[in-house]
Amino acid sequence: MNASLKKLTATAIGIALFVVLALCVQVPVFQNYYLCLGYVAMAVYCFSFGVFSGTAVGALGVVLYCLLTSGLRGMPGWALGNVVIGIGLGLTFRATRDMQKKGVQYALWVGSVILFTAIGILGVKSLIDSLIKSQPFLVRAGMNLYAFVADAVVLILSLPLCPLLDKTAQKLINNT
């Protein structure tokens, strides 16, 4: 099997993993909002397989999750928000992967999670939601504040797993 087919297969596994983690492990945090542990898969894929795979895991994972649980409710904004998060994290991981100063590297990762999750959830998701539901943007951004905090927390907590799981993830691609 060639490398691109292996990477595509690994990405499909990541999308399924996102859905399984989001469905099976639900940790309630705010009112009726749960931590989405699918973001752990997204972070690991952004780190190990790059921008395209990580973004596909986050965006398509959300699409499948929403179709299985609630239909289209919230899905367009959440999926497009995950595109922003995936691209931002994937590029950050690529740029900082070989940094010698691990403290600085980790600080950049945390800052990147906060920045791109804010843009993706508070910005993009809120804009899409406000257009779909004909509500003011600031109202939707306020409503998505819980999602921003919960998603950023899961992504930040998953950061130490990224380098730990990288060697195993790379074996999926490099072994024949």
Q: Is 8's pLDDT higher than 60?
A: yes
Give the residue-averaged pLDDT of 4-29: 87
Give the pLDDT confidence score for residue 118 in this predicted structure: 97
User: Residue 28 pairs with which residues in a beta bridge?
Assistant: 34
**pLDDT above 70 covers what percent of the chain?**
95
Give the pLDDT confidence score for residue 59 in this predicted structure: 95
Query: For the segment 125-140, what is each residue's pLDDT rounded down to a tens digit?
Result: 999 999 998 899 999 8
Higher pLDDT, 150 or 25: 150
Give the pLDDT confidence score for residue 4 in this predicted structure: 83
Average pLDDT, the chain: 90
Reported for 68-75, long-range contacts at CB under 8 A and 24+ positions apart, including other chains, are 68/19, 68/23, 69/23, 74/129
Give the pLDDT confidence score for residue 143 in this predicted structure: 87
How far apart (Å, rounded) are the C-alpha atoms in residues 96 and 102? 10
Give the pLDDT confidence score for residue 74 in this predicted structure: 67
Task: Classify residue 54 by burial, with Cβ atoms within 10 Å: 0-12, 13-18, 19+.
Answer: buried
Phi, psi of 67 (to 5 degrees): -65, -35
How far apart (Å, rounded) are the C-alpha atoms in residues 126 and 41? 23
Query: For the segment 98-121, what is each residue's pLDDT rounded down to a tens digit?
Result: 899 999 999 999 999 999 999 999
User: Global pTM?
Assistant: 0.91
- Domains of the chain are 3-174 (1.10.1760.20)
Cβ neighbours for 144, distance < 8 A, ≥ 6 positions apart? 121, 122, 125, 126, 129
Query: For the segment 17-58, what is each residue's pLDDT rounded down to a tens digit?
Result: 999 999 887 777 766 677 888 999 999 999 999 999 999 999
Give the residue-averaged pLDDT of 165-175: 80
Q: Is 168's pLDDT higher than 70?
A: yes
Closest by alpha carbon to 128, among 107, 149, 143?
Answer: 143
